[in-house]
């Protein structure tokens, strides 16, 4: 085998053989295939695609590059969830303890934010003492004793994907659906969960801007999960508007705790319960009611145990940014649009996100929403509050909010977009 022949096959719209795929993934992981060669192959895949057989083999080769976890010793069935990322997407925080409170084990391997989309680990690290990095033994122990764990994936899990993702990020090939699908699913399958629910975001604040691309990605990932023996379901969910009323690390933790306490924004509660029901059904748990587990405090109990088990203090005061800037409504009427991407970029520029993986984040930075589309607003009332420790960032963040919201005349009819758009199984 050689890299040039593999590149030429896909460049000329050919189908990569299983042997070619196995070799190129292994050789790239070992350093035998150079970055410039793999970036050329990734671009050929972006332009010419892959069929289901190729994607399945590519995913299997990435899984085979590292270890596989085993949760067979647990007394509960396992169920996991993956979101393709969005603005204000704090759903994992209330969802994992909620599903655990209903009888499943939730091994949630999560990531950090990059660009305008937030990262679950960054959010949880705003809780004093909380640790994202756990050994496999520690992860299994937390999962066994509390029912849920949220932590970083170890270096041994699909190392080929880690290397390839970093390359795609700097070569303009992140958008390749076969590579997105195999990247997500290789880690989830190697993780060893018995069932998986995918939350595929659609809209301006999501990676997939239109529903056709989101549907293709979801269908591809559901197929990959099925091919590897993992019961997989996908929900396409709206990301034209930020989820909830916050975008930022400590801000989103605070809102998640409100949800676990039986309150919180309606859209966050609705999506959390919808995903919980899918996860429980996929795990074979039919008689649990996640809405009841939120209301009676049992999900909150699991949250407190889970945070404590990873070194965090669930009673600690969360960080608050030193400076705030209020954006007021320029006119009275009905708020008909609040663009998720603009809000996400503002939060990122305020310090809640990072441009490079090694960049630090501010725990208290972000954007707080005082109105959502469909709400009536009055000229001069607070529309958004920007939070940061570095006030010199306000001007840069405000530029990203230009043109991100529309206010129509009072009495204008507004038709809300459903939170869940489609289900793919």
Give me the catalytic one of 183, 186, 256, 400: 183
161 noted as active-site residue: yes
Alpha carbon distance 137, 315 (integer Å): 26
131 noted as active-site residue: no
123 noted as active-site residue: no
Instruction: Give the contacts of 221 (CB within 8 A, at least 6 positions apart).
Output: 181, 184, 185, 198, 200, 232, 234
Give the torsion sign (CA, 419, 199, 134, 249). negative
Give me the catalytic one of 168, 188, 305, 349: 168
Phi and psi for 86 in degrees, rounded to 5? -165, -165
Count CB atoms within 10 A of the CB of residue 165.
16
Beta strand residue intervals within 309-360, DSSP E: 323-328, 333-338
The SS3 call for residue 421 is: strand
Whether residue 51 contacts residue 15, with contact meaning beta carbons closer than 8 Å, is answered with yes
The SS3 call for residue 424 is: strand
The maximal CA–CA distance of the chain, rounded, in angstroms, is 67
Give me the catalytic one of 57, 187, 304, 349: 187
Phi and psi for 352 in degrees, rounded to 5? -80, -20
Measure CA 320 to chain center. 24
40 noted as active-site residue: no
168 noted as active-site residue: yes
Give me the catalytic one of 89, 122, 161, 199: 161
Give me the catalytic one of 57, 81, 82, 188: 82
CA distance readout (Å), 312 to 135, 149, 223, 306? 17, 13, 37, 9
- Hey, which residues are catalytic here? 82, 161, 168, 183, 187
């Amino acid at each position: 085998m050689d890299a040039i022949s593999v590149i030429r096959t896909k460049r000329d719209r050919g189908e990569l053989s299983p042997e070619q795929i196995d070799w190129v993934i292994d050789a790239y992981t070992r350093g035998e295939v150079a970055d410039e060669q793999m970036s050329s192959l990734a671009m050929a895949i972006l332009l010419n695609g892959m069929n289901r057989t190729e994607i399945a083999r590519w995913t299997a080769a990435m899984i085979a590059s590292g270890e596989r976890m085993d949760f067979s010793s647990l007394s509960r069935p396992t169920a996991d969830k993956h979101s393709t990322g969005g603005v204000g997407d704090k759903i994992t925080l209330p969802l994992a303890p909620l599903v655990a409170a209903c009888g499943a084990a939730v091994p949630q391997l999560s990531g950090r934010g990059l660009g305008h989309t937030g990262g679950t680990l960054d959010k949880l690290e705003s809780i004093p003492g909380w640790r994202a990095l756990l050994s496999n033994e520690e992860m299994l122990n937390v999962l066994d004793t509390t029912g849920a764990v949220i932590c970083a994936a170890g270096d041994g899990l699909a190392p080929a994907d880690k290397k390839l993702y970093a390359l795609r990020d700097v070569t303009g090939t992140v958008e390749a659906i076969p590579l997105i699908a195999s990247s997500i699913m290789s880690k989830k399958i190697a993780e060893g969960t018995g069932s998986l629910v995918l939350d595929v975001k659609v809209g301006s604040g999501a990676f997939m801007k239109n529903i056709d691309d989101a549907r293709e990605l979801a269908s591809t990932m559901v197929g990959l999960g099925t091919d590897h023996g993992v019961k997989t379901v996908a929900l396409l969910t709206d990301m034209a508007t930020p989820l909830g009323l916050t975008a930022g690390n400590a801000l989103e933790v605070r809102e998640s705790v409100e949800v676990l306490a039986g309150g919180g924004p309606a859209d966050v509660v609705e999506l959390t319960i919808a995903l919980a029901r899918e996860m429980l059904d996929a795990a074979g748990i039919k008689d649990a009611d996640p809405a009841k587990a939120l209301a009676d405090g049992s999900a909150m109990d699991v949250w407190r145990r889970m945070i404590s088990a990873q070194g965090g203090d669930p009673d600690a005061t969360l960080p608050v940014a030193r400076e705030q800037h209020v954006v007021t409504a320029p006119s009275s009427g009905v708020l008909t649009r609040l663009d998720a991407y603009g809000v996400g970029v503002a939060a990122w520029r305020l310090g809640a996100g990072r441009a490079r993986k090694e960049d630090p984040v501010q725990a208290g930075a972000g954007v707080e929403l005082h109105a959502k589309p469909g709400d009536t607003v009055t000229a001069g009332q607070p529309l958004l509050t920007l939070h940061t420790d570095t006030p010199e960032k306000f001007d840069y963040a405000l530029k990203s909010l230009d043109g991100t919201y529309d206010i129509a005349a009072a009495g204008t009819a507004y038709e809300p977009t459903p939170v869940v758009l489609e289900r793919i199984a």
